Amino acid sequence: MTRLSLESLAQLPTDVRRPDYDFRRLGVGIVHLGLGAFHRAHQAVFTEEAIIAGGGDWGILGASLRHAATPEALAAQDQLYTVETLASSASYRVVGAIRASLCAPMDRASLRRALVSPQTHIVTLTITEKGYCLGADGTLDFTRPEIAEDLQNPDEPNSAIGWIAQGLATRAVQRGPPITVISCDNLQANGARLCGAVTAFAQRCRPDVLSWMKDNVAYPRTVVDCIVPAATDAMRGRVARALGVDDMACVQRETFSQWVIENRFAGPHPAWDRAGAQIVDDVEAYGRLKLHVLNACHSALAYLGLPRGYIFVREAIADVNLAQFLDDLVSTEIAPALDPLPVLDYWRAVRTRFSNPRIDHRLSQIAEDGSAKLAERIFPLMIANAGNGAPVRLLARIVRGWLESAYGQGHVRSAFDQTAPIPPWIRGNASLRAVILEAVV
């Protein structure tokens, strides 16, 4: 079958939405690190809508930091790809906002040029919690091998933190224009943590550029929300049947999509607000709801649903016992920790999204990197409740499920005592540790 391309674009069925602007003339104004499905289903779509609404050279150069498969698939399709949106029925659109893509280890020169180009005003990231290389205290972990290696050879980075620091250092030397660096990952205070990590890295290897960075780089905090399951052969088959062409870079997503961005920019940015993004002065409330309700409940379903034989979120939430567990968890342990936020109203909407029968969101995908995820999603709730005398028993069941999946059922206590991602302020506070350990074990 023919591949999706500029040539085949005009032959697509009329119910498939195509880029209705001259995307081929777009200059690159955004560099994105972490060219995964979430970026293509979320920020790239917002950016395309912003270009349509407000114009500007906001084409995206997407960089994969490790693997070449996605850049190669996009290159074979003139950088075009399909977004399949799954609601009561499926809809399809081809996105043209990504104008170049590369694999960083294979094309270092192009990524360097893009990061320092005066036309680049925005750098965005979707690298997962693990990609920030943070320790349990939320600061850059210099013992991480990728950070240690990048500090030894900062001009040939491999980590996202190393790439950003190297790009900013070169930009400073060249007296380039200000730039905004935007984390789009599920970290509380993600912009501040990214700023701290990049600054700490630069302090070790390029202290001469710290003053320029302070005056010319902004790191807005953000909240991103859209359920984007991993690509599957079944999804690619549906896309091929709907379009009449093969697409090896297609992605699937739910209808709901949210992007909240702190109004903190160092220079120009796309008209994201005209595309449905919320640009606000304070993102904290949005972030706490997303992280500690939706993401926490996702983790609960993963670690409690996988042992029951469930594969997808929609299957696990259909289990009466698991659904009741989540309802109880939210009302008795999450809501008290987040008071006065509208937790119960938010949860009702999230529960409906979890039940979407067309979304095959794998529990195993959610369960990956549990140590980093639970440190963000679950432990802060436990600490807040333990400090206020509120219950932590249901939250602890999630932690226990993670420990059992990672270390085995017979090693929960020793894993709790020894596992590095258990925050040090739990181990260091005897009374708090006793409350949580009793609930977990």
Query: Where does a domain end: 261, 281, 301?
Result: 281
Q: Reduced to 3 states, what is the DSSP secondary structure of residue 423?
A: coil
304 neighbors 397 (Cβ within 8 angstroms)? yes
Say yes or no to pLDDT of 410 above 80: no
Is 134 part of a structural domain of the chain? yes
Residue carrying the six token digits 């939706």: 294
Q: What is the mean pLDDT of residues 54-64?
A: 98
Is pLDDT larger for residue 152 or for residue 413?
Answer: 152
**Chain centroid offset of residue 184 CA:** 5
The CATH number of whichever domain residue 118 belongs to comes to 3.40.50.720
- 298 plus 223 within the same structural domain: no
Q: pLDDT (tens digit, 9 = 90+) per residue, 307-321?
A: 999 999 999 999 999
- 203 plus 299 within the same structural domain: no
378 neighbors 399 (Cβ within 8 angstroms)? yes
Share above pLDDT 90 across residues of the chain, in percent, rounded to a whole number: 85
Edge-to-edge strand list for the sheet holding 251-254 = 90-95, 81-86, 251-254
pLDDT band for position 411 (cuts 50, 70, 90): confident
117 neighbors 274 (Cβ within 8 angstroms)? no
Q: What are the residues whose beta carbons fall under 8 Å from the beta carbon of 55, sequence distance 6 or more?
A: 271
**In the chain, how many H helices and how many E strands?**
23, 12
Say yes or no to pLDDT of 94 above 80: yes
- 326 plus 423 within the same structural domain: yes
Q: What is the mean pLDDT of residues 151-167?
A: 97
What pLDDT is stored for residue 433 in this prediction? Answer: 72
pLDDT band for position 440 (cuts 50, 70, 90): confident
Say yes or no to pLDDT of 47 above 90: yes
Say yes or no to pLDDT of 429 above 90: no
Please state, rounded to an integer, the average pLDDT across all residues of the chain. 94
How many CB atoms are located within 10 Å of the residue 158 CB?
18
Is pLDDT larger for residue 428 or for residue 294?
Answer: 294
pLDDT band for position 430 (cuts 50, 70, 90): confident
- 133 plus 221 within the same structural domain: yes
- 167 plus 81 within the same structural domain: yes
pLDDT band for position 427 (cuts 50, 70, 90): low
Q: pLDDT (tens digit, 9 = 90+) per residue, 201-233?
A: 999 999 999 999 999 999 999 999 999 999 999
Q: What is the mean pLDDT of residues 136-152?
A: 94
For 336, the domain range is 285-440
Is 397 part of a structural domain of the chain? yes
- 41 plus 173 within the same structural domain: yes
Is pLDDT larger for residue 412 or for residue 89?
Answer: 89
Query: Where does a domain end: 281, 304, 337?
Result: 281
Q: What is the mean pLDDT of residues 68-90?
A: 97
Say yes or no to pLDDT of 425 above 90: no
Is 1 part of a structural domain of the chain? no
What pLDDT is stored for residue 80 in this prediction? Answer: 98
- 306 plus 234 within the same structural domain: no
Query: Where does a domain end: 233, 262, 281?
Result: 281
**Chain centroid offset of residue 196 CA:** 18
Six token digits for residue 336: 């008290």
Residue 305 one-letter amino acid: G
- Strands 98-103 and 258-262, how do they pair? unpaired
Residue 171: closest CA among 145, 206, 209, 143? 209
Q: pLDDT (tens digit, 9 = 90+) per residue, 321-358?
A: 999 999 999 999 999 999 999 999 999 999 999 999 99
Q: What are the residues whose beta carbons fall under 8 Å from the beta carbon of 18, sequence distance 6 or more?
A: 9, 12, 93, 94
Residue carrying the six token digits 């972990």: 141
- 312 plus 210 within the same structural domain: no
- 15 plus 122 within the same structural domain: yes
- 213 plus 334 within the same structural domain: no
What pLDDT is stored for residue 381 in this prediction? Answer: 94
What pLDDT is stored for residue 163 in this prediction? Answer: 98
- 274 plus 315 within the same structural domain: no
What pLDDT is stored for residue 428 in this prediction? Answer: 67
Residue 66: closest CA among 141, 182, 157, 187? 157
- 399 plus 418 within the same structural domain: yes
The CATH number of whichever domain residue 323 belongs to comes to 1.10.1040.10
Number of folded domains that form the chain: 2
Q: Work out the angle at residue 256's Cα, subtended by the Cα atoms of residues 253 and 257, and round it to the nearest 5 degrees.
A: 85
